[in-house]
Amino acid sequence: MPEERQAPIAFETTAVVAASPERVYRHLSDPHSYIGLSPLVVAVRDVRPGHDAQGQEIVDYLAVERFRLFGPLRWDNPIRVRLTPHRPDRLVSDVRSPGRVRLRAVVELVAVTDGTQVREQVTAFAPAPLRRFVAAQARQVAAYRAAELTRRMAAP
């Protein structure tokens, strides 16, 4: 079955962080902030700010995900990311990964009494043999990212 006909992998995470929406937005709109924010991202390269065909601000970059295999063996997976910041409270990341894996993360920021509510909606598509792996990894990464962002924003 073609990937477009499969039901998407879709889920949402929400966290409240102790920082203003402006501070969270600045952090998440910088591609280099994703190193370590995702447990898999170990490098960010080829950062190219610009505009898409409709004039919307974008940032294209290459992120390197590192998967640990067995013992010292690892696999570095280069992924193309297009980050579209929608000021002041929304960011959209479109990811293209080898193996025909696509992922979209929409982050919405809402001011709350204790800081900022960060809501991330993830939708992914993957070929049938990779679906279970992609779904598990995406959920783990999103949970880690919420916890790490909470930790980072608690720091002065």
Query: What residues does each domain of the chain span?
Result: 6-154
Mean pLDDT in order along the chain per 10 residues (156 residues): 69 96 96 95 96 93 91 91 94 94 97 96 94 93 96 86
Please give the CATH topology (third level) of the domain spanning 6-154: Alpha-D-Glucose-1,6-Bisphosphate; Chain A, domain 4 (3.30.530)
What is the pTM assigned to this prediction? 0.90
Encode pLDDT of 21-39 as tens digits.
999 999 999 999 999 999 9
Encode pLDDT of 74-91 as tens digits.
889 999 999 999 989 999
CB of 123 closer than 8 Å to CB of 8: yes
Please state, in angstroms and rounded to a whole number, the distance separating the CA atoms of residues 20 and 116. 6
